[in-house]
Structure 1
Amino acid sequence: MTDMLMAERSAFETLFPNKPFRITHNLENDPRLTLDAILELVRALPGDHIEYNSGQANVSQDPDATPLVDLPPEEIVKRVETAGAWMVLKKIEAHPAYKQLLEDALLSVAHAQGHATLKEAGFSNVEGFLFVSSPHSTTPFHIDSEDNFFVQIHGDKLFSIFDNKDRSLANEDQIEHCITKHRNVAFKDGFDDRAMHNDLKPGEGVFVPYLWPHYVKTKDSYSISVAITWKTQATKRRNQLYIANAMLRDRGFPQAAPGVHPAWDAAKMAFVATASAVASPLRKSEELRKLFRKIALGKNANYYYRGQKGEEGVAN
C-alpha cells in the first residue's frame, strides 16, 4: 500500500502518541474530498452528524453565544467562499467510501510501524470528521476526546496546539465538561505564548494527541480538512469515566477525577458498560440518540442542532 500519512521516523519513535508533530499526506487530490463529493455526503448523513455555525467565532467563544448562519448545510458547501460559515461532518465512516479512506490512511501508518492490522497497532473506534470552512473562519479553543491525524486538503490553516499537562490551560473539571457537554474552553491572554503554532497547506497536517487543547483558523481561501481519529483502550476507559462522573455530578454527587479512586472507577465502568450494551441496539435511531444524550448529559447535550432549520434552539 502506498503511504498516505507520513512523518519523520524519529517523530513516531520519540513523540507518538504522547506529543504533537507535523505530518505530510497524499490525500489532497482524493476525489472523495472535493466540494462535489462533500455535497453528496451532506445529503447522505443524518442530522446529528452535521454541525455548523458562523465562522466569525472567537478563539475564546462562549458556546451559548456562538453566532449562527442562516443557511442549510447544502448551501454552505455550494457557497463556501462567501457563506461565512464553519461546518463539520461527523462520523463520516458511516459512509463506506469514507470508512475505506480512513482505514487505508491509518493502515499505512500501522504498516510503517511494523504492524499488520489496525487492531495490532491499537487503532480502534476509527472515526472521521470532515471540516468545510469559509475564509477567515475560526474553530474556538477546545479539547477533543480522541487521538487525531489532522490533514489539510484545500486552503491554508493556522493550527495551534497546547500542552495537555498544563492544567492552567484546562483543569480536570473543564476537561470533563469538554468530553461530556461542550468542547470549548475559555482562552486567556498569554496562552498563545505556550502554543505549537502550525501553518498548514494542502498536503500537510499535524498529529494531535488525546486531550491536547487547540484552536484553528482558516486563511484567505475556503478550507477542506479531515480529522482521522481513533481511540485506544486507555482513552475509551478515561472517556467513559468522564461520562459516568458527569452523570453523577449532574445528579448531585461530586466525583473525583479518573484515577483517584481506582475501585470506585471500576464500579462506574461496569455501570457504563451495562448501560451502553442496553442502549447500543437503539442508537440506529437519530431521535433515540438525541434522547439518550439528553438523559445522560443534560438538556443542552444536543446543542449542535440549534443551527439547523426547524430544530429547537438549544445551546450549551
Structure 2
Amino acid sequence: MKYFEPTDTTALTEAFPNLPFSLHHRFTGNPLLTLPKLAELVRELPRDRIEYNSGKASISQNPDTTPTVDLDPEDIVRKIETAGAWMVLKHVEQHPAYGKLIEDALLEVAHTRGYDSLKDAGFEDIRGFIFVSSAESTTPFHADSDENFFFQIHGDKFFHVYDNRDRSIASEEALEEVVVKHRNIPYEARFDAKCTTYNLKPGDGVFVPYQWPHWVRTAGSYSISLSLTWKSEDVRRRNDISTMNSMLRSIGIPQNPPGVNPALDTAKLAVFRTAAGAVEPLRRSEGMRRVIRRLAFGRNANYYYRDGAKKAPDAKAS
C-alpha cells in the first residue's frame, strides 16, 4: 500500500527536510482514525498523553491563560461536533496498532529515499500525534522541536506555515523555549509576509520542517488529523544542547546558541545525555514523569492536567 506521496514528486529528494511541501495521502477511512476508535484510544492512554483545551484560543495565545473546557477527554471525542474543543493524543505510537501504522508509513518514505531501514534514513525517536478539534478551533502560533508529516483525515484545516530561516520570526531564545518549556511563541501580523497557507482537505497533508512556526484553524466541521514526527541525530543534538543551555542560563551562566562553539557543545551534550540516561527509566511511570517535568521546567510544566480551570471566552478567536 502507498500511504502518501508529495504533490511534487521531487520534494522528498530536493526539499526534504529543509523546506515545507504539500502531500496527498490514503489514511482517510482507516478505522483507527475514526471517532469511535479514538474514544477507545483515549481510555487506554495515560492522562499526561492527552492535552485539551477550548478551541477558542487566540493565534498569539499565552499558554498560561489558555481557556479550557469542562469535559473529560472521552466526552470531548464523543461530543466533538458541539464541544468547542481542541485535543491532541500524544505518543500514540506506543499503542501496537497505531505504532505499526506509523512505522510502515515512515518506512515507505525511507525506501523512497533509498534507505533500507528507518534508522538508516535518520528517523529516530518516532512519535505519533492525533488531533481532534471542533469546528472553527485555533491551534496557536507555535513551533515544534521535531520534523513532521501532517495529514488531514476529516474536515478542512487552514495550515499557516512561516519561513523561519532568517530568524526574524522567532529568536534563538524563543526557539530554545520551544524545546524546554512550551511550544507557543509570540505572533505579530508582520510575520504574514513570510507565510504559506495550505488549505487542507481530507487526503491532503504538509511536511513541516524543524522549528518552522505555524498556526492552524479548522473550518466549519470537526477535524481529525494525524501527525508523524521524528528527530534526526542533528535535531536530537540541537534539542539536547538547547536544554542544557536553558539549565545553565537559569543559574546565571550566559550561553551561546548551538553551533557557535562546537567543542563546548560536545561537552554539554556528553553531560546532558549521561544525566538523561540515568533519569530515563523513571519516565516509564506517569507519576514520575510529572515529578520530573515539575523539577526540570517549573510549576507550569504539567499543564496537561489543567482540566476545566478556565472557561472559554464568548468571542471567537482571531
* Alignment coverage as a number of residue pairs: 308
Q: CA distance change for structure 1 residues 145 and 200 in 2, over 3 Å: closer, same or farther?
A: same
Where structure 1 has 5 or more consecutive residues not aligned to the other structure, the ranges are 310-316
- Bigger RCO (CA 8 Å, 6+ sep): 2
The answer to whether 1:301 aligns with 2:278 is: no
Matched position secondary structure for 2:82? coil
- Aligned 8 A contact 2:13 2:113 in 1: no
Please tell me the root mean square deviation across aligned C-alpha atoms, in Å.
Answer: 1.1
Measure, in 2, the Cα distance between the counterparts of 1:308 and 1:231: 33
Letter in 1 for 2:111: H
The corresponding residue for 1:92 is 92
- Segments ≥4 residues shifted beyond 6 Å: none
Measure, in 2, the Cα distance between the counterparts of 1:253 and 1:295: 19
Measure, in 1, the Cα distance between the counterparts of 2:263 and 2:109: 36
The corresponding residue for 2:3 is 4
String of CA shifts for 1:68-124, please: whole Å, max 9, x gaps.
Answer: 111100010010000000000011011111100110111111122222211121111
The corresponding residue for 1:32 is 32
Letter in 2 for 1:206: V
Measure, in 2, the Cα distance between the counterparts of 1:267 and 1:135: 48
The corresponding residue for 1:128 is 128
The corresponding residue for 1:144 is 144
The corresponding residue for 2:315 is none
Measure, in 2, the Cα distance between the counterparts of 1:161 and 1:221: 22
Letter in 1 for 2:4: L
Measure, in 1, the Cα distance between the counterparts of 2:222 and 2:193: 27
Measure, in 1, the Cα distance between the counterparts of 2:198 and 2:263: 41
Matched position secondary structure for 2:210? coil
Matched position secondary structure for 1:190? helix
Give the Å deviation of 1:308.
6.4
Greater CA deviation, 28-37 or 106-115?
106-115
Letter in 2 for 1:63: P
The corresponding residue for 1:314 is none
The answer to whether 1:14 aligns with 2:14 is: yes
The answer to whether 1:203 aligns with 2:203 is: yes
String of CA shifts for 1:215-239, please: whole Å, max 9, x gaps.
Answer: 0000000000011001100000000
Give the Å deviation of 1:300.
1.7
Measure, in 1, the Cα distance between the counterparts of 2:3 and 2:54: 32
Letter in 2 for 1:210: Y
- Aligned 8 A contact 1:162 1:194 in 2: yes
Q: CA distance change for structure 1 residues 308 and 274 in 2, over 3 Å: closer, same or farther?
A: farther
Matched position secondary structure for 1:82? helix
Measure, in 2, the Cα distance between the counterparts of 1:66 and 1:272: 31
Matched position secondary structure for 1:81? helix
- Aligned 8 A contact 2:69 2:308 in 1: no
Where structure 2 has 5 or more consecutive residues not aligned to the other structure, the ranges are 310-318
Q: TM-score w.r.t. structure 2 length?
A: 0.94
Measure, in 1, the Cα distance between the counterparts of 2:166 and 2:107: 32
Measure, in 2, the Cα distance between the counterparts of 1:305 and 1:145: 22
Give the Å deviation of 1:193.
2.4
Instruction: Give % identity.
Output: 54
Measure, in 1, the Cα distance between the counterparts of 2:307 and 2:275: 30
The corresponding residue for 2:247 is 247
